[in-house]
Amino acid sequence: MFKTTISISKILVLVFIVTFSFPVRAQQKHQIGFSIGASALTKKKLQQISDAGIDCIETGLTAYINKDSLTFTLPEGEMMKKMRALKQAAKETGVEIWSIHMPYGKEIDISFVEEARRQKVVAFHQQVLKYVAVLKPKIILFHPSYYLGLNEREMRIQQLVKSVQELNAAVKGMKATMVLENMLGPALLVSKGNQERPLLRTVEEYLTIFKLLPDDVYAAVDLNHIAQPEQLLLALGARVKTLHVADGDGKAERHYFPCDGKGENDWKAIFKALQSIKYKGPFMYESTTKDLTSYRECYKELSKLNK
């Protein structure tokens, strides 16, 4: 009789915990993260990030790179030392390094038509991957191109596919997943008419190019790079592995913080799309706010719109 009473008591306690803790967990459907450069990630900063309830980060090595010469500002030994220290600090503070934003720019374009330039960029990225492999990220994010010359889009796509195949092998070698980000492109031509917008500028182009890529290369959707981003989310479905969360209008690089009320995104439609495609990645902000706690608070406010 005594043992039976104990068992029933344990069951009642368990039921109480499950019943009253479930709504809290149900409200938090995604981890919260934001983008921050590796040079800013001291242990003190990581502790502040952790204390603010932020689960993970996206980072990159921009501060350590000479973009024009595709070289590093520090020797290899120093770079590896910094990466090991960053990994240890992240481990001690409980902040996950979810993704790496790979370098990009005028001279860092994996779609270069000139084969020697393309190969140089791929080799440079492979060196970056050697460094960031120490951080054990889950996602490696690339831009598909920089701005293009006129009437070379098809050749650029062919070169992009070649680079993706080569880099994907290196990414898989570090047990991570390669993703390509959609780029800003309200019109094919820039305002002066002397350049074309980068690749992956529309839903249609994204789908066309992705048919040419390996099945284990996925998508990163920047919610500021395209008007009505929910349409891109729905079109890509399960291939969406990560986000860049910011508000905008799809016409320029706005990167408004979503809860500042400056952009035109329909957050109810976006959250409905995320739910529809069963998105399991983090709500990764690529927008800034003064208070780190605002990242989680903003997520709570936006997610209420989908109820």
From 96, 77, 78, select the one nearest 87 (Cα to Cα). Answer: 96
Q: What is the DSSP string of 203-247?
A: HHHHHHHHTTS-TTEEEEEETTSSSSHHHHHHHHGGGEEEEEB-B
Sheet holding 217-222, edge to edge: 240-244, 217-222, 177-181, 139-142, 96-101, 56-59, 32-35, 283-285
**85 assigned to some structural domain:** yes
Look at residue 288 in the predicted model and tell me its pLDDT. 96
**18 assigned to some structural domain:** no
Look at residue 15 in the predicted model and tell me its pLDDT. 42
CA 145/CA 160 separation, integer angstroms: 8
DSSP state of 74: S
CA angle, 91 then 93 then 95, to 5°: 70
CA 246/CA 254 separation, integer angstroms: 8
Look at residue 178 in the predicted model and tell me its pLDDT. 99
On whether the CB atoms of residues 234 and 276 are closer than 8 A, the answer is yes
CATH number of the domain to which 257 belongs: 3.20.20.150
**251 assigned to some structural domain:** yes
Q: What residues form DSSP beta bridges with 178?
A: 140, 217
Look at residue 306 in the predicted model and tell me its pLDDT. 83
Look at residue 145 in the predicted model and tell me its pLDDT. 98
**82 assigned to some structural domain:** yes
Task: Dump strand ranges (E) for the chain.
Answer: 32-35, 56-59, 65-66, 71-72, 96-101, 139-142, 177-181, 217-222, 240-244, 283-285
Look at residue 19 in the predicted model and tell me its pLDDT. 43
Q: Is the dihedral of CA 199, 201, 202, 206 positive or negative?
A: positive
CA angle, 184 then 105 then 219, to 5°: 50
Look at residue 29 in the predicted model and tell me its pLDDT. 86
Count of domains in the chain? 1
**103 assigned to some structural domain:** yes
Q: Which residues of the chain have pLDDT under 50?
A: 1-6, 10-27
**1 assigned to some structural domain:** no
Look at residue 28 in the predicted model and tell me its pLDDT. 55
- The CA distances from residue 263 to 59, 260, 274, in Å, are 24, 8, 19
Provide the residue range defining the domain that includes 163: 32-304
Look at residue 252 in the predicted model and tell me its pLDDT. 93
